[in-house]
Amino acid sequence: MMPEIARSVFTSPRFAPGGGMIAQKIGCTRHFLKAWNNFITFQLKIMSGACRDSCGNDQGRASHSREISGLVLAILLGGCVSTPDFPGEPVDSPVNRALMTYYNRWQGTPYTWGGQTMSGIDCSAFVQQTYAEVFHTRLPRGTRGQSKVGKTISASSLEPGDLLFFKTGWRGRHVGIYVGDGKFIHASEKKGVTSSSVHSQYWSSHFWKATRPIQG
């Protein structure tokens, strides 16, 4: 039987799949916590079985349960709290100004999967067209293809024009263009073409990688 302390943590409504309250507070994705929940439940069943064989009495089992729960939570929290070291200083450069000028023409355009016009556009098409207009560079049409162009860079070394990639689900991928001042422009499913902060809880927790398609 699973130790009661661990049971109260990992099977609570807050932790249950579809919840996400703990995920928001400690900076994890809900998918990450769900996977941990399945793994930890299995491990605790094994360890609690070993405890019954070795703890000998109720006091020993309670102590062992607390040790197991503390260890599991330490591992879980340690894997969640780190966030990318994004820059945040204001940037005023020719690249930044060119990107923002182009963005202003598209701002508010609704998101349409597969769309490529101002009637509706998706994230990779917006990136592709921005690069074609601003940098005179042709990128692949899809997000996965775009993620393979150029070199991967650290979040702390971002410059205007670099691409930001996010994992938004089990197979979902999203892309935007960094413009400086901790912001990126992209075609959001909810807001259409918009500007967002890389420091927000959602985007920082879903960050996958950054690339520099154009080498200076």
Residues 93/105, Cβ–Cβ less than 8 Å: no
Whose tokens are 């299995």? That residue is: 42
The catalytically annotated residue of 28, 55, 123, 206 is 123
The catalytic residue among 51, 64, 174, 206 is: 174
Is beta strand 173-180 parallel, antiparallel or unpaired with respect to 163-167?
antiparallel
80 among known catalytic residues: no
| Entry field: residues in the chain | 216
Q: Are 141 and 131 in contact (CB under 8 A)?
A: no
Q: What is the DSSP string of 142-182?
A: SHHHHTTSSEEE-GGG--TT-EEEEE-SSS-EEEEEEEETT
Task: Report d(CA 163, CA 176) in Å as an integer.
Answer: 6
For residue 71, the SS3 value is helix
- Tell me whether residue 199 is one of the annotated catalytic residues: no
Query: Using an 8 Å Cβ cutoff, are 187 and 125 in contact?
Result: yes
- Determine which one of 51, 80, 186, 206 is catalytic: 186
Q: Which two tokens stand for residue 155?
A: 């979040």
**CA 6/CA 64 separation, integer angstroms:** 11
Active-site residue flag, 123? yes
Sign for the pseudo-dihedral over CA of 210, 190, 185, 117: positive
| Active site amino acids | 123, 174, 186
